[in-house]
Amino acid sequence: MKRKARAKSRILKAVQETAGDFYRLGFIDMRKLREFDALCLKPAPDYDSKKIRALRDRYKLSQAVLAAVLNTSLSTVRKWEIGDKHPSGPSLKLLDLLDRKGIEGLI
């Protein structure tokens, strides 16, 4: 099974490779392997109001459509774009996915 997570450092890369070996040898299960993979994921970058607006413009999305795609409210997207609020948690990950993979990566 191929894993897409990439290690942030040499140490985490070694941990990830060792976990993969342990999985292949039957010492750990898939759930534990995914926990190790999650440790090696790069954190999602911060998105400020300008980046969110640029991302929305790049994919020609209205605020309402972006809100629907991210499963958040229209008012939240508006507040992000004027700088009153900042995305966090799942919204931040979804914005990063949209940025890297496009709208097809979310639908």
Quote the pTM value.
Answer: 0.67
Report the CATH fold assignment for 49-105. 434 Repressor (Amino-terminal Domain) (1.10.260)
- Provide the angle, in degrees to the nearest 10, between the axes of the packed helices 63-70 and 89-101: 110
- pLDDT value of residue 70: 93
- pLDDT value of residue 99: 94
Domain boundaries, given as residue ranges, for the chain: 10-39, 49-105
- pLDDT value of residue 1: 45
| Residue numbers in the chain where pLDDT is lower than 50 | 1-3, 7
Q: What is the DSSP letter of 44?
A: P
- pLDDT value of residue 5: 52
